[in-house]
A and B are shown apart, each in its own frame.
Chain A
């Protein structure tokens, strides 16, 4: 079953108060692959990511995580979310917890990892991102780039099967974007399966295996980065990319 995708989305529909936001999305994400979602704001990228993590209820279609239909209403949402890591645009670290507690909370409380073991893993990760000295620091003392890297580490320490990144550099000062993207490249090298919404075209071209272009809730075109960026097949894609 090596060819089974980690994530398979079929005919996904989502409306907000009768207004269609996603209109029949079909998408596969295979193991160890990085898929970049590009498209204008409001094209449905964030809604798609939220739907996958069951933070939004979908109106039609199915979402499979390693073959299991997680869009089935009978599925245990907490258990499913625990299998998927999410990083948000605004970091959303817990301000009342230290960096170490932010990172270990899910391992300890959701995955039942003993504290010392969870902290060992967390320290290893924080060391890798050069934040060993910030273990006992609270998030409000960190730069945006540091906060976002902690948020990424928080999302991956419990080894999620799929990592969702929702425009994780959009709220950062330009000089802080690099350190966050470097960490994502490192995750790709480490074999993570990633679906990311992004406006960083250069980065998408560099790390993504597949680039997916969304417009008004419709998947217009997908393919390897060279195809999408250099030879887009669809006029809509060409039109959107001409602005970059």
Chain B
């Protein structure tokens, strides 16, 4: 305990001294770590962050629904469902391949250009783009979970008279989701950061707000503050994700830790 504390302090001191002794430090400190600008920009940044939280909220709901749907379609058996299965597979392949930022541009600037929909704010299309991208990943995680549920569970459910749909909803999905809980949490944490990308569509979120302040004062401090805010909101979830993984691992290892 004492040794680890001492070595941590020593390492921190070395790093700190190394950084502040670089000859550009004074300049960097002024343009990235100005406490006055940090404080002054905080209200605007928090307002922007509120937009990110809203985007995240709706994106999570959207992903939960859409990814489940895709995962279920991909597990359907029978020749009748071939076209559906094919579409779902094509979708997951496509959207796992395209960089998020390109999806954002295509959806955010392309779809409004069709003139099919009334004018909607950029954060709306940003949310749609995030849902499309993340559903591709999450549906694959869910599918892996559902396929890991032992067939005897379906057998038992069907033998009680539960229908195929009931078996899926009450037996296979809940067990599948539990099996992939840690992986799902990681995708969630990852999406939490990517909500900052809606700024490329012009949505005035925390990143965009930081950019506006930066160009006003010619100072990068707002970006640092925005970054800290992201860390602050994602930190609890990162801890929960780690805790879930650790717990899952402990359960797997009951009766043998070699």
Contact = CB atoms under 8 A, between A and B. Distances in A.
B69 interface: no
Nearest to A95: B175
A81 B175 contact: no
A82 interface: yes
B159 interface: yes
Interface stretch (A85-93, A200-208, A221-229): A85-93
B111 to A, nearest CB: 40
A110 interface: yes
B152 A81 contact: no
A109 B162 contact: yes
Contacts of B239: none
A109 B170 contact: yes
A105 interface: yes
B161 A92 contact: no
Interface string A57-98: 000000000000000000000110111101010101111100
Instruction: Bin chain A's interface residue count.
Output: 20 to 34
Contacts of B156: 86, 88, 92-94
Contacts of B158: 55, 78, 81
A106 B175 contact: no
Interface in B119-153: 152-153
Given A53-B159, A81-B161, A88 B170 contact: no
Contact of A81 (B153, B160, B170): B160
A149 interface: no
A93 B156 CA distance: 8
Contact of A96 (B160, B163, B166, B174): B174
Nearest to A83: B161
Given A78-B162, A109-B162, A96 B152 contact: no
Contact of B152 (A53, A82, A92, A111): A92
A79 B171 contact: no
B174 A78 contact: no
B160 A105 contact: yes
B153 A94 contact: yes
B10 interface: no
Interface string A91-128: 01111100000000110011100000000000000000
Given A81-B158, A82-B160, 19 more contacts: A78-B163, A81-B159, A81-B161, A84-B159, A86-B156, A86-B159, A88-B152, A90-B152, A92-B152, A92-B153, A94-B156, A94-B171, A96-B174, A105-B160, A109-B162, A110-B160, A110-B166, A111-B161, A154-B160
25 contacts: A53-B159, A78-B161, A78-B162, A81-B158, A81-B159, A81-B161, A82-B160, A82-B161, A86-B159, A86-B160, A88-B156, A92-B153, A92-B156, A93-B156, A94-B156, A94-B157, A95-B175, A96-B174, A105-B160, A106-B161, A106-B162, A109-B162, A109-B166, A154-B160, A155-B160
- Complex A-B, nearest 6 residue pairs according to Cβ-Cβ distance, in ascending order: A82-B161, A92-B156, A106-B160, A110-B161, A86-B159, A81-B161
Interface of A: 53, 55, 78-79, 81-84, 86, 88, 90, 92-96, 105-106, 109-111, 154-155
